[in-house]
Amino acid sequence: MRAFMCMLLVVAVALSGCTGAAKVDTIKIGWFGPQTGDTALWGQAEFNTVQMIVDEYNAKGGLKVGSKTYKLDVVGYDDKGDSTEAVNVAKRLTSQDKVVAIVGAQGSGEAIPVAPIMNEAKIPLVASTATNPKVTVTESGAVNAYMFRACFTDPYQGAVAATYAYNKLGKRKAAIFMTVDDAYSAGLSEFFKKSFTKLGGKIVAEVSFTAGEKDFRAPLTKIKASNPDVIFSPNYYTDVSLSAKQARELGITSVMLGGDGWPSENLISLAGTALEGCFFVNHLDFSDPSVADFKNAYKAKFKKNAELNSYMVRDALAMVIDAIQRAGTIDSVAIMKALETTDIQGITGHIKIGPTHDPVGKDAAIIKIVGTEMVFQEKIQAQP
């Protein structure tokens, strides 16, 4: 009998070891972006960043929310830079994975179509670099209740580019070279044109190409004939680098100017000297001391430099974590309400969310390509 009681005691101790430890609940945060395709470099950098930050919180014991502490978990999917795939993974994250919020959705073409899904599921999404106004505001002017962003918008950066071209570079004749089937490129072109002409400049040519093209000589020949003193190229770095090389081969010497689709570790290596002396609008100065800790931590962990999207998704995630803690709950509706009053200092600048769920008053950085370096010029705001 005594032996039997001892055996029961051993079993009881073993079971207490399995079930007696404090259970740590988990907060699931979703992410989606391109892990494959032309912009996979940015998507991979984003997911690396989100996972790195989640790991850092968990290594310190988790995230304190109200009286409880939670482990963080990121659930990520490849949207392949495709709008249909973005819709599919957004549905999966909200209905199957039960995330409390999503960060990422780096492309406007992928972020815009998922807005109805987020609104219906009542789960907030904070876009990293999706800059088209329609991400947060519908065609009718209604605010998408569950859509937010960490970046400034295309109307703003288009106006910044136009202001810099006209007032700082003294340019008066601009050609626009855009991707016709891309929401980001088309929107940024529209807002540059509006601001540049308002300032007194003239658009001497508007030519376009289809995403995926490799030979830009035909549209570039049309641009050459218009004799612009600046070419606005609101495209992604892969197209920018190749088209710039072909432009120089055709004898086009105009300064090229672009937006936040340009910055990448691969831009200059792909373009060679074709972009020497050209400029682009960016969300931050990569050499700013305030970003050094993050930049160094990323490089130490992944053995490569952080991309722009790394910095942007870091701030998108910071917005979500701040909202969760201020809400004091992991209820997604409460998190959305807290996001509406976001007022934090990010590494890309001060982020105060306005009535359209966009940051208000963020400065833009002008970057010049000098040799093999991207050199900060100045912080600038658009001329009203």
Q: Could you tell me if 31 and 104 are in contact, meaning their C-beta atoms sit under 8 angstroms apart?
A: yes
Are 348 and 60 in contact by the 8 Å Cβ rule? The answer is: no
Are 148 and 179 within one domain?
no
Are 54 and 134 members of one domain? Answer: yes
pLDDT tens for 321-367 read: 999 999 999 999 999 999 999 999 999 999 999 999 999 988 899 99
Are residue 243 and residue 370 in the same domain, yes or no?
yes
Residue 8, in any domain of the structure: no
Question: What pLDDT is attached to residue 247?
Answer: 98
Q: How far apart are CA 169 and CA 158, in angstroms?
A: 15
pLDDT of the residue at 23: 57
User: Are 237 and 102 within one domain?
Assistant: no
Band of pLDDT at residue 265, cut at 50, 70 and 90: confident
Q: Are residues 219 and 315 in the same domain?
A: no
Higher pLDDT, 380 or 161: 161
In terms of domains, do 78 and 191 share one?
A: no
Work out the pLDDT band at 106, boundaries 50, 70, 90. confident
**Cβ contacts of 70 within 8 Å, gap of 6 or more:** 24, 25, 26, 27, 62, 63, 330
Residue 368 CA, distance from chain mean position: 21
Same-domain status, 119 and 258: no
pLDDT higher than 70, residue 118: yes
Per-residue pLDDT, 222: 97
- pLDDT for residue 24: 65
71 belongs to a structural domain? yes
Tell me: do 274 and 317 sit in the same domain. no
Note the pLDDT of residue 22: 47
Structural domain count of the chain: 2
Give me the pLDDT at residue 96, please: 96
pLDDT for residue 282 is more than 80: yes
Region 123-131: mean pLDDT is: 97
Residues 313 and 348 grouped into a single domain: yes
Q: What is the mean pLDDT of residues 216-220?
A: 97
Per-residue model confidence (pLDDT) at position 7: 37
Give the domain range for residue 199: 155-282+365-380
Identify whether 219 is part of a domain: yes
Distance CA 231, CA 33 (A): 29
Using the Cα atoms of residue 136, residue 322, residue 160 and residue 106 in order, give the sign of their dihedral. negative
Average pLDDT, the chain: 92
pLDDT at 384: 56
How far apart are the C-alpha atoms of 192 and 210, rounded to whole Å? Answer: 20
What pLDDT shows up at residue 3?
A: 40
Flag whether pLDDT at 76 surpasses 70.
Answer: yes
Amino acid type, 230: V
At CA 82, angle to CA 77 and CA 83, rounded to 5? 100
Between residues 184 and 197, which one has the greater pLDDT?
197
C-alpha to C-alpha distance for 354 and 333, rounded to whole angstroms? 18
Confidence of residue 154 (pLDDT cuts 50, 70, 90): very high
What CATH number is attached to the domain comprising 119? 3.40.50.2300
